[in-house]
Amino acid sequence: MDYSDDFDAVRATSSTAWEDETEDIGQTSLQRLTRWWINERGAPDILVWQAQLVEELLDSLHNQATMVQHIRSDPRTSEQEHFRVVLVQTEMERVKFLIRSYLRVRIHKIEKYAGYIMREPGVQVKLSSGELTHAQKYYDLISKYFHSSALEGLPENMRSLDEQLPNGRSMITEPDKDRGVFVRARKKCENVRLPNGDSLTIEKGSIHLLRYRTVEDLVARAEVELI
Amino acid sequence: MFGDQALILINDARRSTASDTLLKYNDETVRLVRRELRVLDSDIASTIGDNLAAPTPPPGVMCASTFYHIAIRRNIRCLLAYHAHRIDRLKDQYWASGGALPHVFNDQDTRQKLSPYEVDFLRGYNSLIMEYRSDLIDTLDIAAGITHPPKDLHVLVQVVRDCGTIHTENGTIDFQKGQRFMVTRSDVEHLLVQGYLELV
């Protein structure tokens, strides 16, 4: 039976020290998605949808499920193999947890910033097609709700939901990119421009507290990771 | 007048957060705020009166109309914030029950606190989530819990409320109050979230 690969993957995730993770090469899709999951949870903005990673993991989950079913229904399977199957299944549950949590944190952000997403085509490309449909429909739903329950019967000029107020505030919630985030450099990053104009060199492996806006591009290029 | 009613709504929302309970939809105050908004709108119109076309209206008119305008802004903001706050709470409740809308609605206590529009919203929201879920349902259910990562495949559970016969991967189980079972966690996840079973 060929599930030794899975065991290697399990061992790799549990024992890698982060120093070895500086390059994407040689990392399993699970390790990479774990990193994106942590990034996603730490970042105030929506990050790019990791279509390939999620797809790979879903595929391998599907294959493993088929294999597990096959082994379990085979009467010749030995006691030891049954034990290994349980391990594989537990790991599968954990991978599912990861994907689920990843999707849920994105859904949460998408609903929070639905108006912003609908306004900015640049953000829309970061979403999967399912997420984009969801954003669109959710925005319609919540606008309909506000109109019917709160704004019904008010004069026409008071009913908009996307006004820019004179004091510069907008009625649309936008991600707060000035929020501080903790980052750990995965490689040496030079000339990081700080808001006051200074530039900073981030040594590999060092940990910094910076505004999200400052490190936005580095996160996207996976040169730093959020913690 | 001038935002008193709207402040009641905000206080309601704050109290709801502080005590972590859903309060009854404050229908009356919402209606009063809306009436105040209409009154303010006619006030502003009568203040401006003939000065609408004037390039520089008298300072008195400027001042009064700005005042009314700010009051309107504030009231609308409070009104929307109150509704948004309730929706956030309801969504949390929806996810906490594992995406089971009937479970939220069957709770009489919650049900009587909702406004009809909130019920409509939740129905609509439920169908959106169902749509999103159905793409992945073969391999994973996104509505299952995300608070604790699974440690074991099997869990020992005690039945707290009768929930009848449940079909699982390994056959059917008849859950009756007081019994204990060793089951696969993913099979009973939704029953755990909805409070039929509890972990031992």
pTM (predicted TM-score):
0.83
Q: What is the DSSP letter of A197?
A: S
Residue B177: per-residue pLDDT = 83
The mean pLDDT value for B18-26 works out to 88
Residue A172 sits at the chain B interface (C-beta within 8 Å): no
Dist CA A115 CA A172 (whole Å):
6
Contact between residue A218 and residue A183 where contact means Cβ atoms under 8 Å apart: yes
Residue A203: per-residue pLDDT = 86
Contact residues on chain A for B52, CB-CB shorter than 8 A? none
Confidence grade of residue B135 (pLDDT, cut at 50, 70, 90): confident
Of these ranges, A35-39, A150-154, B2-6, the one predicted with the greatest mean pLDDT is A35-39
Residue A111 sits at the chain B interface (C-beta within 8 Å): yes
The mean pLDDT value for A75-92 works out to 84
User: The sheet that has A207-211: what strands, in order across it?
Assistant: A207-211, A180-185, A224-226
Question: Is the pLDDT score of A19 beyond 50?
Answer: no
Site of tokens 């599912």:
A96
Distance between A183 CA and the closest CA of chain B, angstroms: 24
Of B104, B41, B80, nearest in space to A143 by CA? B80
Question: Is the pLDDT score of B195 beyond 90?
Answer: no
Of A43, A19, A18, A20, nearest in space to A220 by CA? A43
Residue B121: per-residue pLDDT = 93
Residue A223: per-residue pLDDT = 87
Q: Lowest mean pLDDT: which of A84-93, B3-12, B26-35, B50-59?
A: B50-59
Question: Is the pLDDT score of A140 beyond 90?
Answer: yes
Confidence grade of residue B136 (pLDDT, cut at 50, 70, 90): confident
Residue A65 sits at the chain B interface (C-beta within 8 Å): yes
Residue A24: per-residue pLDDT = 59
Q: Bigger pLDDT: B113 or A17?
A: B113
Of A183, A202, A181, nearest in space to A191 by CA? A202
Question: Is the pLDDT score of A11 beyond 70?
Answer: no
Task: Give residue B118's Cα distance to chain centre.
Answer: 8
Residue A137 sits at the chain B interface (C-beta within 8 Å): yes
Cα–Cα separations (whole angstroms), residue A22 to A56, A158, A169, A215, B136: 21, 53, 40, 17, 31
Q: Lowest mean pLDDT: which of A161-165, A203-207, B27-31, B110-114?
A: A161-165
Dist CA B45 CA B1 (whole Å):
18
Question: Is the pLDDT score of A99 beyond 70?
Answer: yes
Residue A17: per-residue pLDDT = 42
Question: Is the pLDDT score of B150 beyond 50?
Answer: yes
> Is there a contact between B34 and A165 if contact means CB atoms under 8 Å apart?
no
> Is there a contact between B141 and A155 if contact means CB atoms under 8 Å apart?
no
Q: What is the 3-state secondary structure (H, E, C) of A21-79?
A: HCCCCCCCHHHHHHHHHHHHHHCCCCCCCCHHHHHHHHHHHHHHHHHHHHHHHCCCCCH
Residue B10: per-residue pLDDT = 92
Confidence grade of residue A25 (pLDDT, cut at 50, 70, 90): low
Instruction: Could you list the beta-strand ranges (E) of chain B.
Output: 154-159, 164-168, 171-175, 180-184, 197-199
Residue B82: per-residue pLDDT = 92
Residue B14: per-residue pLDDT = 92
Residue A45: burial class (beta carbons within 10 Å; 0-12, 13-18, 19+): buried
Question: Is the pLDDT score of A6 beyond 60?
Answer: no
Number of H helices, E strands in chain B: 7, 5
Dist CA A152 CA A219 (whole Å):
43
Residue A23: per-residue pLDDT = 57
Q: What is the 3-state secondary structure (H, E, C) of A133-196?
A: HHHHHHHHHHHHHHHHHHHCCCCHHHCCCCCECCCCCECCCCCCCCCEEEEEECCCEEEEECCC
Closest partner residue to B80 (CB to CB) among A103, A141, A146 is A146
Residue A17 sits at the chain B interface (C-beta within 8 Å): no
Which string of b and e fits B21-56 if b means at least 16 CB within 10 Å? ebeebbeebbebbbebbeebbebbeebbeeeeeeee
Confidence grade of residue A7 (pLDDT, cut at 50, 70, 90): very low
Dist CA A20 CA A3 (whole Å):
24
Contact between residue B9 and residue B26 where contact means Cβ atoms under 8 Å apart: yes
Question: Does residue A37 come out as left (phi exceeding 0), alpha (psi in the -120 to 50 range) or beta?
Answer: alpha
What are B's interface residues with A at a Cβ cutoff of 8 A? 30, 34, 37-38, 41, 72-73, 76, 79-80, 82-84, 87, 91, 95, 115, 117-118, 120-121, 124-125, 128, 131-132, 135-136, 138-142, 144, 146, 149-150, 152-153, 185-186
> Is there a contact between A93 and B153 if contact means CB atoms under 8 Å apart?
yes
Confidence grade of residue A10 (pLDDT, cut at 50, 70, 90): very low
Contact residues on chain B for A171, CB-CB shorter than 8 A? 80
Residue pairs between chains A and B whose CB atoms are closer than 8 Å: 100
Of B146, B147, B143, nearest in space to B132 by CA? B143
